[in-house]
Structures are given as C-alpha cells and as structure tokens.
Amino acid sequence: MKKLTLLFAALMVSVTVFAQTCVDDAWQCLRQNQAPKAKKFIEECLAANPDNAQVWLMRGNVYINLYNTDQKKMKADPNYTPRYPDALQIANESFVKALSLDPKVQPKSGMLGAIDGQKLCAEPFYDLGNSYLKKGDYQKALDNFLVAAKNYELAKSSNASLAYYSAAAIYKENLKDNDNAKKMFAKSVSANPNFIYGIIELYYMYMDDKDTVNCGKMIDKMLAVPAEKLPKDVKSGVYEAQMSYYSMLNDEAKLMATCDSALAFDSSEEMVARCANYLSNYKAFQKAEDIIKNALAANPGSYKLNEQMGYLFYERMHAIEDQVAALQKEKKWNEAIALKGSPELKEMTEKAHEWCQKAYNIDADHLDNNKRLRELKVKLQLEVPQELNDKINARMHQN
C-alpha cells in the first residue's frame, strides 16, 4: 500500500512538472511574439492537464494575443480575414475556467491575471454585440452584450449598465420578451443607480403593467439622480414620466406643480404640447388652454400647438357628452336633453372643429387629428372632403 501511495505521489509530481514545463514553453513563445506557436504548446498542455488553473490562465493569455494580432491586421487591411475568429471567446472562457479552478491563481510575469483578462475582454464583446445587432443577428448580439456586462461588472465599471441596457433593448424590441427585458433593465440600474435610461425604461414597463408601487419607486430613483448629470432632453423626459405618474394617481396638485416646473425648465412647443395633453386628459382644461395660448402667441403656425388645442376642445366636448350619458343612465331625460342641446356643447364642438381644421391645414398627414376632424364634421353636419377620407383610409391601410 505504501508503494502505491508513493507511486501515486510521484505520478502527481510528474504531471505537475509537465504542466509547469509546457506553461513555461507557451509563456516563452508569447514573450518572443510567437503566439501561434504558443497556441500549439498550450493546447497540448491542456489535453494532458484539463484541471490545472495555470494552464487555463496561460491559454487565456495566448488567445487574447491571437485576437489582438488579428485585430491589428484587420485595421491595417480591411480585407483581411481573421485567422482566429473565435479567439476572444476562447480567451474569455479560459480566464473564467482558471478562476473557477483556483480563485487565487497567479499569472506569469508580464501576463494577464484571470480577472484582468476578463476585464480586457469586456469592450471587444460589447463591440461584437453592436456588430451583430447591425447585421440583425439578435441572439448573437444578446449573447455578446451579456458577456460584456458580466466582464464589466468584474471590473466594477459603470459600463455594465450600458451593456445590460443593450441586452434589455434586444429582449424588448427584437425578441418581444418583456420579462427578461425588465430583468436586464433592472440589472442596468443595479450596476449604476444613476443610469437614468434604464430607470425610465423600467418606469414605463411598470406603467404598462399598471404597477403603481414600482412606478413610484422608479420616480423616486429618477428624482435622486443629480440634475446636473442629465442632458436637457432626458430631464424633459423625467418631467413627462412624473406627469404620467401623477395623472395615474389622480394627484392634481402634483400634476399641476410638475407642469409648472417642466415649463419653467423647457418652454419648447414640444413640452407645452406634452403638458397640455396630460392636463386635458385630467380635465384641467382651463390651465391647458392658457399654456397653449401663450405658446401660440409666439408660434401661431405650429402644428403641434394647433393640434393640441383641437384635442383640448375635443376632450371638453366628450366630457359634456359623458355627462349626458350619465344623466341618461340615471333616467334624468329632461336634463340629458337640455345638456345635449346646450350652447356649451355646441361651442366646444365648433371650437374643436376649428382648431383641428387649422392643424389639418398646416399638416394634413396626421391620422389622429384627421379622424377627429372627420368625426367633428359629421357631428356638425358639415361636408367631409374626399381628400380627408382618402388620407384617413390610406394611413389606416398602412397600419
């Protein structure tokens, strides 16, 4: 038994020495810029030592050298075909394997450690993801973005948030997988709590789910991001998210205050139209009318503003019609008849028609405004031009 034990120990020493020797051979080749020769040594070494962390670590270094060599040649000659197309993936897998076998594995002098190797692979994987995305290969793009994200996390880099965001966008837009999209957006925010793009995407996904609790959490996260870190268009988007949230909660005071803050920050016609839209949907008609009028004084030819004014009076008309329907449901027939024939309902219908027509005259290619205009012409017993019908039918056919 003692002889067998000694024999086994001697065999293990022999294997370890062999592994160390072939790792040294590959190392020396790399130091002499002979990566292809190092590849031959390290693959032979791996076949005999599949559980040796040092072998896997050197293999990662060999293949990252092969990848870098191919990249240099491609920059020098755009027609060059990579000799080692899988080198980046093999390098990363080797670094991962080395760490799994021995978390404390140390590199040879001048070589990359396992964690540093994975960090170095992050950006090329992200670039590959973008390359596959442009080609329409969404699964390969996704796979590369996810590897990049994990590697960036190892590096404690905030770029992990962008890689997870890119993966989430593929799940959402291309693979139509909202559950995984939500998980990836959440990871993007976890990697960087100030990553506003991920926060906004999560907010609207929760809003689609009518999840007011998580919507509120995302609003809090948006407001916690330092304002100076937000581009102007993104800050405007944060205001819009707030307006939608307070509308959803029926919180009139906060909706009004947010509209005021939004317009103080951004008085563009785009922001005026957004604020007026939320106010109109909330039936805060007078405030909506006031802010549109102020904006129209400076830009009377704006389609957005004319269209929004038409929408405002259209909603006011429907609010009165809803009151008529409620009276009819309660069988208050005389009151319903009086309100249906009231000057106020006629005035709102005529004003809605006037402004929708103005918007149509500025730009006749907006389906929603065109449909409202046709409905209003029918209500007012006005002729519906064939051109208007044709435009509506053509757009609906496209959709």
Q: What pTM did the predictor assign?
A: 0.79
Judge whether 91 and 67 are in contact, CB under 8 Å: yes
The predicted pLDDT at position 2 comes to 46
Q: Which residues of 29-52 are buried (b: 16+ CB within 10 A; e: fewer)?
A: bbeeeebebbbebbeebbeebeeb
pLDDT of residue 10 exceeding 70: no
Tens-place pLDDT, residues 202-220: 999 999 999 999 999 999 9
CA pair distance 300, 358, nearest whole angstrom: 10
Query: What sign does the CA torsion over 254, 258, 264, 265 have?
Result: positive
Task: From 251, 246, 194, 249, select the one nearest 222 (Cα to Cα).
Answer: 194
CA pair distance 118, 93, nearest whole angstrom: 9
CA pair distance 11, 180, nearest whole angstrom: 49
Using the 3D structure, point to which of 64, 86, 112 is the last residue of a domain. 112
CATH code, domain carrying 103: 1.25.40.10
The predicted pLDDT at position 398 comes to 76
Within 13 Å, how many C-alpha atoms sit on residue 329's CB side?
6
Any idea which residue has 């070494």 for tokens?
Answer: 45
Q: What is the mean pLDDT of residues 305-311?
A: 97
Q: Radius of gyration of the chain from Cα atoms? A: 33
Judge whether 49 and 15 are in contact, CB under 8 Å: yes
CATH code, domain carrying 355: 1.25.40
The predicted pLDDT at position 16 comes to 46
With respect to residue 136, please indicate whether it lies within any of the assigned structural domains: no
Q: What is the mean pLDDT of residues 352-378?
A: 97
Length of the chain measured in residues = 399
With respect to residue 159, please indicate whether it lies within any of the assigned structural domains: no
Tens-place pLDDT, residues 120-160: 999 999 999 999 999 999 999 999 999 999 999 988 888 99
CA pair distance 388, 357, nearest whole angstrom: 11
With respect to residue 287, please indicate whether it lies within any of the assigned structural domains: no
CB within 8 Å of 158: residues ≥ 6 apart: 191, 192, 195
170 vs 22: which has the higher pLDDT: 170
String of DSSP letters for 342-357: -HHHHHHHHHHHHHHH
Tens-place pLDDT, residues 34-80: 999 999 999 999 998 999 999 999 999 999 999 999 999 999 998 99
Phi and psi at residue 112, to the nearest 5°: -80, 140
Torsion, CA 300, CA 293, CA 285, CA 252, rounded to 10: 120
pLDDT of residue 1 exceeding 60: no
Any idea which residue has 């997870």 for tokens?
Answer: 164
Judge whether 115 and 96 are in contact, CB under 8 Å: no
Taking all residues of the chain, what is their mean pLDDT, rounded to a whole number?
91
Which of left, alpha, beta for 156 (phi over 0: left; psi -120 to 50: alpha)? left
Tokens matching residue 31:
């130091």
Tens-place pLDDT, residues 318-342: 999 999 999 999 999 999 999 999 9
Tens-place pLDDT, residues 91-119: 999 999 999 999 999 999 999 999 999 99
With respect to residue 143, please indicate whether it lies within any of the assigned structural domains: no
* Confidence band for 385, pLDDT divided at 50, 70 and 90: very high
With respect to residue 101, please indicate whether it lies within any of the assigned structural domains: yes
With respect to residue 188, please indicate whether it lies within any of the assigned structural domains: no
Q: Angle at which helices 178-191 and 196-208 pack, to 10 degrees?
A: 150
With respect to residue 155, please indicate whether it lies within any of the assigned structural domains: no
CA pair distance 113, 130, nearest whole angstrom: 27
Using the 3D structure, point to which of 92, 112, 132 is the last residue of a domain. 112
pLDDT of residue 288 exceeding 60: yes
pLDDT of residue 369 exceeding 70: yes
Q: How many domains does the chain have?
A: 2
Using the 3D structure, point to which of 82, 97, 112 is the last residue of a domain. 112
Q: What is the mean pLDDT of residues 291-314?
A: 96
**Helix, strand, or coil (residue 155):** coil
* Confidence band for 19, pLDDT divided at 50, 70 and 90: low
With respect to residue 34, please indicate whether it lies within any of the assigned structural domains: yes
Q: Residue 42 belongs to what domain range? A: 15-112
CB within 8 Å of 248: residues ≥ 6 apart: 207, 212, 215
Tens-place pLDDT, residues 229-283: 889 999 999 999 999 999 999 999 999 999 999 999 999 999 999 999 999 988 9
